[in-house]
Amino acid sequence: MPDRIYNFSPGPATLPQEVLAQAAKDIVNFHDKGIGLIEMSHRSKEFMAVVDETEALLRRLMDIPDNYKVLFLQGGASTQFAMIPMNLLGPGRKASYLNTGTWAKKAIKEANIVAEAHVAYSSEESTFDHVPKTDDFTVDPDSEYLYLVSNNTIYGTQFADFPQSDKMLVCDMSSDILSRRFDIRPFGLVFAGAQKNMGPAGVTVVIIRDDLLDRAPDNLPTMLRYKTHADKGSMFNTPPCFAIYVVGQVCKWLEKIGGVAAMEEKNREKAAILYDMIDATDFYKGHARPDSRSLMNVTFNLPSPELEAEFISQATKEGLDGLKGHRSIGGCRASIYNAFPRQGVLDLVAFMKKFEQAHR
């Protein structure tokens, strides 16, 4: 087994090696201060500088305008399923949701506890094998926002283009943030758990437009208000210090290699290599429709569950780890996020060819 395997896991996922090396050093002795990063006060000038730099990097990489706040929160992306309607809706108010997978369904469930979620579209009948085009659905005119999940990790689908709507968009970008360029201005709120493309588990980045901060009802608990965290620069309570630091390091790495535009080009190339392999044979079959295919999570099946189990077992022995599909649909899944190397995709394709020849 090599020192470093190829980690195809959907998350926590591969991080850049240089980021891991720097983090390992800074955990022990941060900037030669004689104290480790994870020992430092979150209110020290050194750590406050880390937060400020991380926010500045994200703003540059994503072209985030000044009228948006960048928050570093805890509770995972799943907490946002509830915080969003709690802050932006309230009793008697409504929002429209696009049901394109498990995480959208969970968000819809939480929204219905607080207010009313209008399901404008669902691809559940086809096992979530596609995402809709703008003309495939109608947003309820009384909706405050249109909610979508940009990339569906379990099913391997992704919006190639975001929907057009006269309502503001709210988006879960947990699994494809920083992977491609997009204009944030039609969005009122974007959020992402860090553990796919940005860093380790533990911090959720929320980007919210200023004018939405005062929408929360008076009876909403303090910690569940976006304004609480915006007013205190994400320092109302002790933040997930190490996770924020790693997000900053990943952003530095991303900026150094050319930013989001360069990353998007690399991601498209990696995904094309793998999809070309799948399309070249009937031994492997992709789950997602071609026009909805994800650049981040490539889902596919073999002719039988038994062959899939053997494929995953043999691949793991060769250092190609984490290829088992989600338990809800089975099959195989190769997650190839930003930091996943091109060589790993090439090695997987070579293994797929060898496995097919041996099992036809």
> Over the stretch 31-58, which tens digit does the pLDDT of each residue have?
999 999 999 999 999 999 999 999 999 9
Domain boundaries, the chain: 6-16+259-359, 17-256
pLDDT score of 90 more than 90: no
Confidence of residue 328 (pLDDT cuts 50, 70, 90): confident
Residue 166 falls in the annotated catalytic set: no
Confidence of residue 360 (pLDDT cuts 50, 70, 90): confident
Residue 202 is predicted with a pLDDT of 97
Residue 166 is predicted with a pLDDT of 94
Residue 183 falls in the annotated catalytic set: no
Residue 150 is predicted with a pLDDT of 98
Quote the CA–CA distance of 121 and 75 in Å, as a whole number. 28
Residue 155 is predicted with a pLDDT of 98
3-class DSSP string for 177-217? CCCCCCCCCCEEEEEEECCCCCCCCCCEEEEEEHHHCCCCC
Burial of 35 (0-12, 13-18, 19+ CB in 10 A): middle
List phi, psi (to 5°) of 111: -65, -35
Q: Which of 26, 69, 103, 176 is catalytic?
A: 103
pLDDT score of 332 more than 70: yes
Query: Would you say the CATH fold of 17-256 matches that of 6-16+259-359?
Result: no
Question: pTM for the full model?
Answer: 0.97
Segment 70-75 mean pLDDT: 98
Burial of 273 (0-12, 13-18, 19+ CB in 10 A): middle
pLDDT score of 1 more than 60: no
Among residues 206, 202, 191, 192, the alpha carbon closest in space to that of 243 is found at 202
pLDDT score of 314 more than 90: yes
DSSP assignment of 86-121, as one string? HHHT-TT-EEEEEE-SHHHHHHHHHHHHHSEEEEEE
Residue 2 is predicted with a pLDDT of 61
Q: Which of 69, 105, 167, 196 is catalytic?
A: 196
> Over the stretch 187-212, which tens digit does the pLDDT of each residue have?
999 999 999 999 999 999 999 999 99
> Over the stretch 220-256, which tens digit does the pLDDT of each residue have?
999 999 999 999 999 999 999 999 999 999 999 999 9
pLDDT score of 168 more than 70: yes
Mean pLDDT, the chain, as a whole number? 96
Contact 270, 230 (CB under 8 A): no
Contact 198, 192 (CB under 8 A): yes
17-256 fold: Aspartate Aminotransferase; domain 2 (3.40.640)
Residue 196 falls in the annotated catalytic set: yes
Confidence of residue 270 (pLDDT cuts 50, 70, 90): very high
Segment 96-120 mean pLDDT: 97
Confidence of residue 3 (pLDDT cuts 50, 70, 90): confident
6-16+259-359 fold: Aspartate Aminotransferase, domain 1 (3.90.1150)
Q: Which of 105, 172, 266, 270 is catalytic?
A: 172
